[in-house]
Amino acid sequence: MPFVPVRHPRSGPPRRPPGRARRARRWTAALGVPTLALTLLAPAAQAAPAATEAPRSAHVTAGHETAGHELLRRLHAPRTTTADGPVWSPVATGFASTATDDLPHGTTGGAGGRTVVVRDAAALAEQAAAEGPRTILVDGTIEIGDGDMIEVASDKTIAGAASGGELVDGGLFLDRVSNVVVRNLTFRDSYVAGDWDGKASDNDNDGIRIDTSSHVWIDHNEFTRLGDGQVDVRKDSTAVTLSWNHFRDHNKTVGVGWTDDVVTTITLHHNRFTNVHQRNASLDNVAAGHVYNNWLSGVSSYGMNARGGAQVLVEASVFEHARKPLIADDGGHVHQRGNVFRDVWGEAPAETGPTFEASDHYSYRLDDVRAVPRLLSRHAGPVVGTAERAARRVVVAQDGAGDFLSIHAAVGAAARTPHPVEIVVRPGTYREVVTLWPGADRLTVRGATGDPSDVVVTYDKPDSDWANTPTLTVLADRVTLRDLTLANTYDGAAGPSPAYALRDAGERTVLRDVVVLGDTTEGDPR
C-alpha cells in the first residue's frame, strides 16, 4: 500500500540512585553565543589520536562506508554476521538508509567531520550543537542531571567509546534536524521516584526524543530506568531506524506519533524488550512501520500497537511472557508473518491484512526466528553493556538510599540473576505495576519494617480497562511476599468491574502478613 557480540557485566545496580528536585532544563550550546559557562564547567573536548579532519565531501561521497568501518574499529565492535548482514553495520539500515538528494547514501551522521572525545555534559552539549559533521565519542559515565535533554544538531554521530559510554539522568533531544546517528551508549537512571507513569509536571525525562526530524539511526544502545519514554519519535519524523537496542525495566519504552499526519517511516529490527509495560512500540499514524527480528520477553500491559492510520508489517519476531503481544486499534493496520507467540495472553495477535512491502524501499534479509533470542541475548545493546544483576539482598528506597528507586526495576535485576534474591522495600507508597516473571524463582519481596501498612504497592486499573493489569502478578515459582500491602484503588467511576490487586499464577507462593485491598485471583492468565 502506498504511503505519503557477547556483552560483559560492568557494574551492579547504582549505589546512589539519582532523584529529582526540580523542573528539567535543556542543555544548549549555540554557535555565536558565548560559551564561557561550558569552559568553566569542564575542559574542552579532546581530539581523538586518530581523528581525521577531511572535508565532508571526501569522506561521505567517496567513502561513507569506510568512515563507518573506522568508527567500528574505534569501538572494538564484534565482526559477527547474520543473514541480515553485520551485527554491527558500518552503514545505516532500514528506513534510515533510504537516499535523498541531500543524503544520497542515507543517514551518515558525522562522517566526513572531526572526531572528538567528551567526558562531561558541558563538553557533550557544546560538541553536539556545533555546526557541520562531527563524530562525538562519549568516554565513561556522563552525569547530565535532572533529566535534562542535550540538543543535537544535524550531521552528528554520538557513540560510546570502546571502554563504554553512559548518559545518566538525562538524554538527547533531536528537534527539526537531519542525519543523526546514536550508537553504543547506555541511557539510564532519570527515573523520578514515585512517578512510575511519568506523568508528573516536572518529569519529561526521555532517553532520546526525536521531533520533526529525518534520517535518524539509533543502534546498539541500552535504555533502562528512565523517567518518561525511553525513545519517543514524534511530530512527523521520517526515515528513522531503531536497531539492536535493549529496552528494559521500564513502563513506556518506544512511542511513535504525536501527530494527526500519516507520514512517519520507521524500522525496528533486532531490538530486545525485557521487563517492560507498554509502548513496545506504540505506532500511531505511521505511514510505514517495519518491525522484524525483535524479541519481547516480559510485557505486562501490551506489546506492539498499531494505532490511528498506522500501516505496520511485523516479521520473524518473538513474543513471550507477554500480555496482548500485538494489537491494532483506532483504525490501525498490521500484517504479520513468521512470528512466534508463546506464553502470551489477553488478546489474540492482530492481523488486519496486507499493508506494505518493506523490500520496495530498502534491502533486508530475515534472520531465522528461532535464532532471534540467542542473537539478541548476545548482541543487543552496546559493546560493553551494563547487564546488571542483583546481589542476594537488594534494597528499594524512594529517597535514593537503596539500590533501586522502584520495585519494578529491582524485580528486573532479580530476574536476570542466577541465584535467589531478597528485595527489601523501605517504607513508602509505590504506585507501579509489578510482575514477577518466569525465571525469578525463589524471589522474596518484603517490607523493611515488618508492618504491612508501611509499604503499600498500589495501582488503579479495573479488569475492564484496556490496561487491566493487576497491581502485582506472580508468574515465578516459590515466591515469598511478606509485610506488604497490595492495593487496587479503582473507585468504580467508570462502571462496576473487578479491580485486581494480586494475581497468583506461580507454584508454592507464600504470603505472610500481606494485606490485600482489592480483588485477588488465582490461576494462570496465559
Contact present, 303 and 278 (Cβ < 8 Å): no
Contact present, 420 and 413 (Cβ < 8 Å): no
Write out the DSSP string of 202-263: T----SEEEES-EEEEEES-EEES-SSEEEEEESS-EEEEEES-EEEEEEEEEEEE-SSS--
CA separation (Å) from 375 to 244, 296, 379? 10, 13, 6
Question: Cα torsion for 104, 109, 112, 117, to the nearest 10°?
Answer: -170
Domain identity same for 402 and 280:
no
Domain identity same for 400 and 261:
no
Q: Tell me the pairing of strands 114-118 and 46-47.
A: antiparallel
Domain identity same for 435 and 373:
no
C-alpha cell at 391: 546481589
CA gap 514, 403 in Å, rounded: 23
Residue 57 is assigned to a structural domain of this protein: yes
Instruction: Give yes or no for residue 13 having a pLDDT over 60.
Output: no
Residue 16 is assigned to a structural domain of this protein: no
Taking all residues of the chain, what is their mean pLDDT, rounded to a whole number? 88
Residue 386 is assigned to a structural domain of this protein: no
Average pLDDT over residues 325-351: 95
Domain identity same for 451 and 373:
no
Task: Indicate the range of 11-15, 77-81, 316-320, 360-364 predicted with least confidence.
Answer: 11-15
Looking at residue 19, its amino acid is: G
Q: Which of 355, 379, 403 is the C-terminal boundary of a domain?
A: 379
Please give the residue that has the higher pLDDT: either 32 or 418: 418
Domain identity same for 371 and 483:
no
Domain identity same for 473 and 374:
no
Looking at residue 464, its amino acid is: S
Residue 357 is assigned to a structural domain of this protein: no
Residue 275 is assigned to a structural domain of this protein: yes
Q: Which of 347, 379, 411 is the C-terminal boundary of a domain?
A: 379
Instruction: Give yes or no for residue 115 having a pLDDT over 80.
Output: yes
429-473 residue pLDDT tens: 999 999 999 989 999 999 999 999 999 999 988 876 555 689 999
CA gap 72, 134 in Å, rounded: 15
Containing structural domain, residue 72? 34-286+298-303+365-379
C-alpha cell at 439: 525465571
CA separation (Å) from 256 to 222, 250, 267, 381, 438? 18, 17, 11, 21, 29
Question: Phi/psi of residue 320, each to 5°?
Answer: -145, 155
CA gap 245, 268 in Å, rounded: 9
Task: Indicate the range of 104-118, 196-210, 412-426 predicted with least confidence.
Answer: 196-210
User: Is the previous residue joined to 390 through a cis bond, with omega within 30 degrees of 0?
Assistant: no
CA gap 63, 458 in Å, rounded: 56
CA gap 107, 92 in Å, rounded: 6
pLDDT of residue 63: 65
Question: Number of folded domains in the chain?
Answer: 2
pLDDT of residue 521: 77
CA gap 4, 269 in Å, rounded: 22
pLDDT of residue 56: 36
Write down the catalytic residue from 74, 248, 279, 503: 279
Q: Tell me the pairing of strands 519-522 and 208-211.
A: unpaired
Give this prediction's pTM.
Answer: 0.88
Task: Report CA Rg, the chain.
Answer: 23
Residue 334 is assigned to a structural domain of this protein: no
Residue 136 is assigned to a structural domain of this protein: yes
pLDDT of residue 388: 80
Please give the residue that has the higher pLDDT: either 202 or 369: 369
386: confidence class by pLDDT, cuts 50, 70, 90 = low
Domain identity same for 127 and 274:
yes
Q: Tell me the pairing of strands 444-447 and 178-183.
A: unpaired
Domain identity same for 408 and 369:
no
Domain identity same for 407 and 264:
no
Among 250, 251, 230, CA closest to 242: 230
C-alpha cell at 178: 537531519
3-state secondary structure of 409: helix
pLDDT of residue 197: 81
Among 194, 152, 148, CA closest to 168: 148
Domain identity same for 55 and 156:
yes
25-79 residue pLDDT tens: 444 443 333 332 232 233 344 444 333 233 333 334 446 789 999 999 999 999 9
The reply to whether 279 belongs to the active site is yes
Average pLDDT over residues 280-284: 96
Domain identity same for 418 and 513:
yes
CA gap 375, 511 in Å, rounded: 38
CA gap 460, 471 in Å, rounded: 8
Question: For position 44, which CATH number holds?
Answer: 2.160.20.10
Please give the residue that has the higher pLDDT: either 317 or 39: 317
169-226 residue pLDDT tens: 999 999 999 999 999 999 999 988 888 888 777 778 899 999 999 999 999 999 999 9
pLDDT of residue 387: 65
Any idea which residue has 501498612 for its cell?
453
pLDDT of residue 467: 54
Contact present, 185 and 165 (Cβ < 8 Å): yes
Please give the residue that has the higher pLDDT: either 464 or 351: 351
Average pLDDT over residues 230-248: 98
Q: Which of 379, 402, 424 is the C-terminal boundary of a domain?
A: 379
CA gap 323, 333 in Å, rounded: 19
Domain identity same for 62 and 147:
yes
- Give the Cα-Cα-Cα angle 473, 195, 208 (nearest 5 degrees): 100
CA gap 215, 238 in Å, rounded: 7
Residue 147 is assigned to a structural domain of this protein: yes
C-alpha cell at 110: 558525522
pLDDT of residue 205: 85
